[in-house]
Amino acid sequence: MQFGPTPLSPAEAALRAEVREFLAAELPPDHRPALGFAGRHDPAFSRKLAARGWVGMALPPEYGGHGRSAVERFVVAEELLAAGAPVGAHFVADRQTGPALLHYGTEEQRQRFLPGISAGEIYFSLGMSEPDSGSDLASVRTRATRVEGGWTVTGTKVWTSEAHNNHFFAVLCRTSPMEEGKKHAGLSQLIVDLHADGVRISPIPYIDGSHHFNEVALEDVFVPDDMVLGEIGSGWQQVTSELAYERSGPDRWLSTFPVLREFLREKAGTGVSDEEATVVGRLAARFWAIRQLSLSVARALDAGAAPAIEAALVKEVGTRFEQDLVEALRVAAETELDQGSGSLFGELLAEAVLTSPKYTLQGGTTEILRSVAAKGLSA
């Protein structure tokens, strides 16, 4: 295990102070906190954040990025999440697709996409899940066939968050037929323009009634050769390393934090009972402990380590904690859930009850993570 205590350096602490100041100035007093990175899509906010250099932090300056460390990204991410900032427009491109393009993309692709990602102007969705492929990702059936100058893609992707608002998605598809016993071979990633001919986006109503998920049907969509991400046939390796990116970041344990803060705010007038204090204290203690596990993974990444087991453990415990928090506060508050209750705490709590099951599903389910972590522990 590579978990270890690590402080923020003075420079990292100064960065944090800058982000706090920015958020205090930018978020209006009646700002309704978003729960998690996917909470709210707000291009104007994404651009403002980018103007401060806080989008594309992992990308090098020659592509408009900022070459910042994993810990610096951690510091910015945790402040955004704690404040419930609306970062839904850019976060997939920022966290996942940008680094993948930097890693596997051609020079031309980097020039084309990375400056826009860093400017908070180009947004990506994920193109992995399908109706019959969830945790067993290698079973995807979306198929790309070789044609003159590129590929033509046919298949259906689901749970595509914000496809109706974003620009592109990186589609995992089969570029050669599955061979018995070689399930992970023959997969590739193609960058598909969500506005291309043959792309049909239809909403899948989200559990809370909002429009968040989509089904994206691809019918003979032409993808030119210069939109192939990485090597043809290396899609599996690319996607699994992409999933490991920041698997253990603050977005895996901080999504429901605003509910706790608003609970305390609501109690400011009356004070807390012993039982409420116990719940608040327990949650704060675990936040404090989990945060340091997560921070120590970022520090290890900066030191060049590959803390895969640690990252899986943090996501597993962190996302379950995001859910535990919601239920602990519900019990403490002795309330009936109502999305329109008129109390900020009550409304956030209701939203969190409806949406928090996703935390232990997205980016690797709890069950998959346990299997990854347990194999590492036993090795």
Partner 1 sequence: MSDDRAMLTDVATGLFRDLCTPEDVVAAEATGWSERLWSALAESGFPYVSVPEEAGGSGGDIADACALLTVAGRFAAPVPLAETGLLGGWLLAAAGLELPEGPLSVAVGRPGDAVELAGGPGAWRLTARVQRVPWGGRSERVALLADAGGDRYVVSAPVASAGVTGGRNLAAEPRDTLEWTDAGLPDDAVGVAPAGVTGDALRLRGALSRAALISGALARVSELTVRYTGERHQFGRPIARFQAVQTHLVTIAEEAQMAGLATEVATLNARPEPGFFDVAAAKAAASEAATIAARASHQAHGAIGMTKEYELGQLSRRLWSWRDEFGSERYWSRELGRQLAEAGADELWPRISTGLGNA
**Binding interface with partner 1 (CB under 8 A):** 1, 3-10, 16, 78, 82, 257, 260-262, 264-265, 267-268, 271-272, 274, 276-282, 284-293, 295-296, 313, 316-317, 367, 369-371, 373-374, 377-378
Q: Is the CB of 83 or the CB of 192 nearer to partner 1? A: 83
- Residue 212: name the closest of 158, 131, 133, 132 by CA: 158
Q: Is the CB of 154 or the CB of 371 nearer to partner 1? A: 371
Alpha carbon distance 331, 329 (integer Å): 5
Alpha carbon distance 60, 255 (integer Å): 28
CB of 136 to partner 1, least distance (A): 15
Q: CB 106: neighbour CB atoms within 10 A?
A: 15
Alpha carbon distance 164, 125 (integer Å): 9
Q: Is the CB of 75 or the CB of 122 nearer to partner 1? A: 75
Alpha carbon distance 100, 93 (integer Å): 9
Alpha carbon distance 225, 227 (integer Å): 5
CB of 375 to partner 1, least distance (A): 8
Q: Is the CB of 161 or the CB of 296 nearer to partner 1? A: 296
Q: Is the CB of 7 or the CB of 209 nearer to partner 1? A: 7
CB of 212 to partner 1, least distance (A): 26
Residue with tokens 């962190």: 318
Q: Is the CB of 74 or the CB of 104 nearer to partner 1? A: 74
Alpha carbon distance 165, 41 (integer Å): 8
* Helix%, strand%, coil% for the chain, nearest 5: 50, 15, 35
Q: How far apart are the first and last CA of the chain?
A: 12
Q: Is the CB of 91 or the CB of 263 nearer to partner 1? A: 263
The one-letter amino acid at 191? I
- Residue 72: name the closest of 5, 120, 9, 12 by CA: 12
CB of 359 to partner 1, least distance (A): 16
Q: Is the CB of 182 or the CB of 265 nearer to partner 1? A: 265
CB of 131 to partner 1, least distance (A): 24
CB of 361 to partner 1, least distance (A): 17
Residue with tokens 């415990």: 317
CB of 341 to partner 1, least distance (A): 18
CB of 57 to partner 1, least distance (A): 18
- Residue 325: name the closest of 370, 285, 271 by CA: 285
- Are 352 and 35 a contacting pair, CB within 8 Å? yes
3-state secondary structure of 130: strand
